[in-house]
Amino acid sequence: MTVRWSNDVAEYLERVETFLCASPVEHSVLLTSAHRCVGGPVEGQLWLWVEADGAVVAVAQQVPPWQAYVSVGSNSAMGDLAKALRGFRPELGGVGGMRPAAEAFARRWRELTGRETATAMTQGVYVANEVRHPTGIPGRMRLGEAADVPLIQAWSDGFSAELGGHAPRLDVGPWIEHRRVFIWEVDAQEVSVAMAHQGYGGVARVSMVYTPPEHRRRGYAGAVVAGVTARQLEAGLRCMLYTNLANPTSNGVYQRVGYRQMCEAVDVRFS
């Protein structure tokens, strides 16, 4: 196997997109993050892929300030990616991806560097091919607007804080500009929010589902997720999302509106 790399996301996508789209649920993060970088600044970006007999068999990426993220792939391919990334990013803080590939990368990283590794979060990867709208929930869903930016930014920051700050701060302005923020409101008051990524490989991902504490346990999160999911399904896309497996409340909400767990992802930190 041969590891290849580039700082040019367009070159990377030209080579690996077919591989990624063959498993679009497992590779949703890789696809959306790479496409988001197209046409933007390239400083610090690192895109890697492993070839065997001329075919792509695994990929990895590291775009500061994010940690590394890997595709599905064999243990040996993950080992090759870890070795290559060590040469470029010896200070790497962690890796994310599907289990068991990300765990294989982390094991090899520990062997190569002597650093400790620990799983910071295990997530369920859920998929919906149909949706069940909750009944008896007051309110309606609407698209986010420019005037909503301060509120949704504060909610996004609250969401990140509740997750323990596992991701860099999200700038919600472009999401609202591109009509990917959906707000549930009751009597003109905003009570819950969800975002939807652009679909790749026939799969769209719902993310940043958040209800502020004072509005929880009233069904608003389920209502907005069902509404967003229905829109993606009507557009001909499958719909997916990640959820913290340590949070039984959110897992139950998603299952009730039609999501079923497909696999698990992990966030492994290096120290």
Q: In the chain, how long is the greatest CA-to-CA distance?
A: 60
Q: What is the predicted pLDDT for the residue at 211?
A: 96
Per-residue pLDDT at 165: 61
Q: What is the pLDDT tens value at each position of the chain, 271 positions in all?
A: 899 999 999 999 999 999 999 999 999 999 999 999 998 777 889 999 999 999 999 999 999 888 999 999 999 999 999 999 999 999 999 999 999 999 999 999 999 999 999 999 999 999 999 999 999 999 999 999 999 999 999 999 988 888 776 566 789 999 999 999 999 999 999 999 999 999 999 999 999 999 999 999 999 999 999 999 999 999 999 999 999 999 898 899 999 999 999 999 999 999 9
Does residue 252 form part of some domain? yes
**242 within some domain:** yes
In a domain, 255, yes or no: yes
pLDDT number for residue 200: 96
Instruction: Based on the fold, state whether residues 247 and 165 are members of the same structural domain.
Output: yes
The domain boundary, picked from 69, 93, 115, lies at: 115
* Last residue within a domain, chosen from 86, 115, 144: 115
Q: Where are the beta strands (DSSP E) in the chain?
A: 2-6, 46-52, 55-62, 68-70, 94-98, 117-128, 140-143, 181-186, 189-196, 203-210, 238-244, 260-270
- 120 assigned to some structural domain: no
- Are 137 and 259 within one domain? yes
Domain-embedded: residue 122:
no
| CATH code, domain with 259 | 3.40.630.30
Pair 209, 235 in one domain: yes
Q: How far, in Å, CA of 235 to CA of 168, rounded?
A: 30
Q: Which of 59, 90, 115 is the last residue of a domain?
A: 115
Domain count, the chain: 2
Residue 157 lies in a domain: yes
Give pLDDT, residue 167: 64
Give residue 213's domain range.
128-263
Q: Are 133 and 215 members of one domain? A: yes
| 62 and 154 together in one domain | no
Any idea what the CATH number is for the domain that residue 23 is in? 3.40.630
**In the prediction, which pLDDT does 128 show?**
97
Is there a domain that residue 270 lies in? no
Q: Measure the N-to-C terminal CA separation of the chain; round to a whole number of Å.
A: 29
